[in-house]
Structure 1
């Protein structure tokens, strides 16, 4: 099989899903899980990708205000105007 044949087969399978279903799958794929949280919590590209995927889901669900909030967060990760809060398990007890 050629690369083109594989791409065509993949495209054909993807055509079976709605844009919302594809966006939700992408969002799930890019979500930072609890297992990866410490490793990726400060990874600005990973955090931005996660927020952009969620924004796309909200936009496809006709919730532009929620989409905009996620896009603003994604932008904040990229321009370094936001940072990860401290982990709950690492906060100092007073």
Structure 2
């Protein structure tokens, strides 16, 4: 496939990010202006491939967030070492 035959979704790694990906990134970062939101909405309505790309992009965003987020700190105390002194249980030493 020649470069002119490539769709926006078939970019090589050295090619610039296409406009759809820019808009999706801004949307997921909650940084989309009203004009950009209208542009993204129009692209998603008009192009089934853009809708598919938006689902893939959102899934990747969610996966990366889940992978790199800080682990939750539990409010449950860690288990105590056994035997607990003073309970009359035999020592494991």
Q: TM-score, normalised by structure 2?
A: 0.30
Structure having the higher Rg:
2
Which has a greater percent of helix? 1
